[in-house]
Amino acid sequence: MPMYSIEELKELINTVDNSGVTALQLEGADGEKLSIKKKTYVATAPTVVTTVETTTQSVATDTQPRDAAAKLDKTINSPMVGVFYSAASPDADDYVSVGSAVNKGDVVCIIEAMKLMNEITATESGKIEEVLVENGQIVEFGQPLYRLS
């Protein structure tokens, strides 16, 4: 017999999520254990940089790093914590690989969280330039999974 019903689990998760508590561990009389951990993030204020450009050369030099950073920003990120799977089953082909073209809404992988298989879809269209995680790897919320061009 499970220690908690689904409704009780949802209520516990909601309580932890809406409180200052970052972790909760419970152990039932039958030895069953439950652990809920909340990730906390520290937001930083954006930095404003003012530059004075005096020559055409400095303009070209200044824009190159921004273009490179823009390319790195185009990623498909994990919407949850869980285990990354590149295919629907061990004997199936990967949903996408390097060179694959994806459209917004295409399934790109599966993330297993709490024994549920969640299909993850592309948040934007592009071409897969790099797979940033390995099959079976645990991923964090917001972690980049694929780099797009």
HSE, CB side, 13 Å, CA atoms: give it for residue 48: 1
What is the pTM (predicted TM-score) of this model?
Answer: 0.52
CATH number at residue 128: 2.40.50.100
Residue 27: strand, helix, or coil? strand
Question: In terms of residue numbers, what domain contains 101?
Answer: 74-148
Amino acid at 65: P
Which pLDDT tens digit goes with each residue over 50-106?
444 444 444 444 444 545 444 456 899 999 999 999 999 989 999 999 999 999 999
78 and 33 belong to one structural domain: no
Pair 121, 105: CB distance under 8 Å? yes
Residue 87 lies in a domain: yes
Q: Identify the CA nearest to 149 among candidates 126, 133, 132.
A: 126
> For the chain, how many structural domains are there in total?
2
Same domain for 136 and 80: yes
130/80 same-domain check: yes
Q: Is 117 within the bounds of a domain?
A: yes
